[in-house]
C-alpha cells in the first residue's frame, strides 16, 4: 500500500516508522555488539543532528531509511533529511553550510572542488550511495520515427536535420556524463550536434510532455514514470553504459570532515547499514519503495519505484527483462566504496568535454576528495567488507576500458570530444 500522506507525519507513515523504528532499535542495537557504536569519549560524534539534503530520486533511499529506521541513533547521530528542489540548490547549500551533507551527484562534488560548476570549495566524498539505476529516455515522437537506441537516433538526426535537445540534471554531474558518453558512442557530439539543457529531476517528465526536449538522462523513478505516462521510452539504462557505475555520493565539504570527523564517520556507518538493510531482500525493498514514494520524499506512486529496484524493466515498446545490474545500495560493500578511479573518471570526462581546460592531477585530487580512511573506519563499525584495491577496472559501452592508470591518455583518446 502506498504511504500517501497529507503531511510528513500522517498516521499511516507514522505507524510504519514507529514499527520499523522499534524493529531496528531492538535488532540493530543488539546486533551492534560492544564495538558497534560510539556512545562516549573521544569517539563520540561532535554534532548530534546532521542535516542531509536530498533530491526526490529513488537513490536517496539509504539516507532516508537510515533516518526512518532509527539506524542513525545507534551511531549517536540524528539524520534530518532535507528535500531540495535542484542540484544547483544542493551545491549552494553545501557550500554555504545550510546543509551538513547531501545525497549528491558524484561529478557535482568534483566540479565544485575544481571550481568548474560555480563556486570553488574543497569538497569531500564520504561514500558512494549506489551503483546503477539511471536511464536515458527518448520521446515517444522520436521512437515513432525509429529512434529507439543510440545508433537509430544518430541515423534519424543525420536524416532529419533540426536542433535536437537533450536534458541532463547538472553540468558536471553523472547524468550529463552518461548522456554525453552514450551519444558520443554513436558518433553524436553532444555539444556540436545537439543542444544540452539542465532540468531538475522531478521536472523531466513534465518538460518532455510539453515537448521541451527530445531525450533526457535522469535517475529513477523518472525514467519509468515517462513510460507509465506514455510519453517516452527507455533507450538505454546507465548500467548498460557502465556496469556497476558510481552514481550518487554522500558529499560534504572538506571543512566539515575536518571539524567533525567522528560525525562524518558515524553518519557514513549508519548509511552503510541502511544500504545493507535495503539490499537484504524483497520485503525490505518493497518497504523502502513505500517509504520513499511518500510526498515527503519522492512524491510518486509506489509502482513507479518498486519495479526497477527489483530489476524488473520494460522499455515502453513492449520489451521486458530482468536486469541483474539494477540499482544496488550495498552489494557487500562494492556499491559503497569510494574508489579513487571512480572520482578520477569524472575528471577525465570533464576534460574530454572542455569543462576543464588543462589536465588536472587526477589521482591527487581524488585522494583529496574521497575520504578512504573515514570510510574504512565506518566500514569496520558497520561490519562492511572493504575492497582490496582503491582502484577498479571497468569496460564501457564502447568497449573502452577504464582502470585509472593513465587518465591523461584516456581523456585525450576519445574520437568524439569537445
Q: Is the pLDDT of residue 8 over 60?
A: no
ω into 296 cis (within 30 of 0): no
From the number of C-beta atoms within 10 Å of its C-beta (0-12, 13-18, 19+), residue 33 rates as exposed
Query: What is the Cα–Cα distance from 304 to 301, expressed in whole angstroms?
Result: 5
Query: What is the Cα–Cα distance from 280 to 257, expressed in whole angstroms?
Result: 30
| CA-based radius of gyration for the chain | 21
From the number of C-beta atoms within 10 Å of its C-beta (0-12, 13-18, 19+), residue 372 rates as middle
| Whole-number pLDDT of residue 41 | 56
Longest dimension (CA), the chain: 69
**pLDDT digit string (tens) for 184-226?**
999 999 999 999 999 999 999 999 999 999 999 999 999 999 9
What would the grid cell of residue 29 be? 542495537
**pLDDT digit string (tens) for 334-369?**
999 999 999 999 999 999 999 999 999 999 999 999
**Residue 283, number of CB atoms within 10 A of its CB:** 8
pLDDT-derived band at 15 (thresholds 50, 70, 90) equals very low
Q: Is the pLDDT of residue 24 over 50?
A: no
Query: What is the Cα–Cα distance from 357 to 368, expressed in whole angstroms?
Result: 20
**Residue 17, number of CB atoms within 10 A of its CB:** 17
Query: What is the Cα–Cα distance from 135 to 341, expressed in whole angstroms?
Result: 22
| Whole-number pLDDT of residue 34 | 31
Query: What is the Cα–Cα distance from 29 to 41, expressed in whole angstroms?
Result: 19
Q: Please measure the distance between the N-terminal and C-terminal CA atoms of the chain and give it in whole angstroms.
A: 48
pLDDT-derived band at 28 (thresholds 50, 70, 90) equals very low
Residue with cell 560510539: 38
pTM (global) more than 0.85: yes
Query: What is the Cα–Cα distance from 159 to 379, expressed in whole angstroms?
Result: 53
The string of DSSP letters for 330-385 reads -GGGTTT---HHHHHHHHHHHHHTTSSSS---HHHHHHHHB-HHHHHHHHHHTT--
Helix H segments across 166-210?
Answer: 174-185, 204-209
Residue whose C-alpha is closest to residue 227's, from 139, 132, 134: 139
Between the alpha carbon of residue 114 and those of residues 233, 247, 306, 347, 369, the distances in Å are: 35, 19, 37, 9, 11
pLDDT-derived band at 117 (thresholds 50, 70, 90) equals confident
Query: What is the Cα–Cα distance from 418 to 409, expressed in whole angstroms?
Result: 15
Q: Is the pLDDT of residue 64 over 80?
A: yes
Q: Is 182 helix (H, G, I), strand (E, B) or coil?
A: helix
Q: Is the pLDDT of residue 262 over 50?
A: yes
| Whole-number pLDDT of residue 121 | 98
Does 373 or 19 have the greater pLDDT score?
A: 373
Does 24 or 112 have the greater pLDDT score?
A: 112
Cβ within 8 Å of residue 270, ≥6 positions away = 66, 71, 72, 74, 75, 77, 79, 382
Q: In the chain, count H helices and then E strands.
A: 19, 14
Amino acid at each position: 500500500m502506498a504511504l500517501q500522506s497529507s503531511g510528513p507525519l500522517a498516521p499511516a507513515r507514522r505507524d510504519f516508522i514507529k514499527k520499523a523504528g522499534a524493529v531496528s532499535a531492538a535488532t540493530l542495537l543488539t546486533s551492534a555488539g560492544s564495538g558497534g557504536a560510539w556512545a562516549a569519549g573521544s569517539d563520540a560524534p561532535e554534532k548530534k543532528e546532521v542535516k542531509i539534503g536530498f533530491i526526490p530520486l529513488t537513490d536517496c533511499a539509504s539516507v532516508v531509511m537510515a533516518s526512518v529506521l532509527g539506524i542513525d541513533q545507534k551511531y549517536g547521530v540524528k539524520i534530518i533529511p532535507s528535500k531540495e528542489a535542484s542540484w544547483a540548490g544542493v551545491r549552494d547549500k553545501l557550500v554555504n553550510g545550510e546543509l551538513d551533507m547531501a545525497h549528491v551527484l558524484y561529478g557535482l562534488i568534483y566540479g565544485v572542488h575544481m571550481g568548474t560548476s560555480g563556486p570553488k570549495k574543497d569538497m569531500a566524498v564520504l561514500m558512494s550511495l549506489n551503483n546503477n539505476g539511471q536511464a536515458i529516455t527518448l520521446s515517444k515522437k522520436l521512437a515513432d520515427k525509429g529512434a529507439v537506441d543510440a545508433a537509430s537516433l544518430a541515423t534519424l538526426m543525420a536524416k532529419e536535420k533540426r536542433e535536437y535537445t537533450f536534458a541532463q540534471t547538472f553540468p558536471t554531474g553523472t547524468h550529463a556524463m552518461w548522456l554525453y558518453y552514450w551519444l558520443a558512442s554513436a558518433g553524436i557530439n553532444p555539444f556540436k550536434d545537439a543542444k544540452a539543457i539542465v532540468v531538475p529531476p522531478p521536472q523531466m517528465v513534465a518538460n518532455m510532455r510539453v515537448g521541451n526536449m527530445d531525450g533526457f538522462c535522469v535517475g529513477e523513478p523518472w525514467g519509468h514514470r515517462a513510460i507509465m505516462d506514455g510519453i517516452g521510452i527507455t533507450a538505454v539504462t546507465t548500467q548498460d553504459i557502465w556496469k556497476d557505475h558510481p552514481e550518487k555520493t554522500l558529499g560534504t565539504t572538506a571543512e566539515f570532515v575536518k571539524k567533525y570527523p567522528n560525525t562524518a564517520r558515524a553518519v557514513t556507518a549508519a548509511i552503510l547499514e541502511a544500504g545493507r538493510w535495503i539490499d537484504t531482500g524483497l520485503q525490505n525493498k518493497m518497504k523502502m519503495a513505500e517509504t520513499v514514494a511518500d510526498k515527503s520524499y519522492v512524491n510518486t506512486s509506489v509502482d513507479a519505484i518498486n519495479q526497477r529496484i527489483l530489476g524488473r524493466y520494460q522499455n515502453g515498446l513492449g520489451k521486458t527483462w530482468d536486469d541483474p545490474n539494477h540499482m544496488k545500495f550495498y552489494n557487500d560493500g562494492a556499491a559503497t566504496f569510494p574508489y579513487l578511479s571512480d572520482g578520477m573518471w569524472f575528471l577525465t570526462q570533464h576534460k574530454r568535454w572542455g569543462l576543464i581546460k588543462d589536465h588536472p592531477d587526477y589521482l591527487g585530487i581524488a585522494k583529496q576528495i574521497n575520504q578512504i580512511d573515514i570510510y574504512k573506519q565506518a566500514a569496520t563499525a558497520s561490519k562492511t567488507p572493504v575492497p582490496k584495491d582503491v582502484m577498479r577496472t571497468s569496460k564501457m559501452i564502447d568497449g573502452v576500458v577504464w582502470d585509472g592508470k593513465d587518465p591523461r591518455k584516456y581523456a585525450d583518446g576519445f574520437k568524439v570530444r569537445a
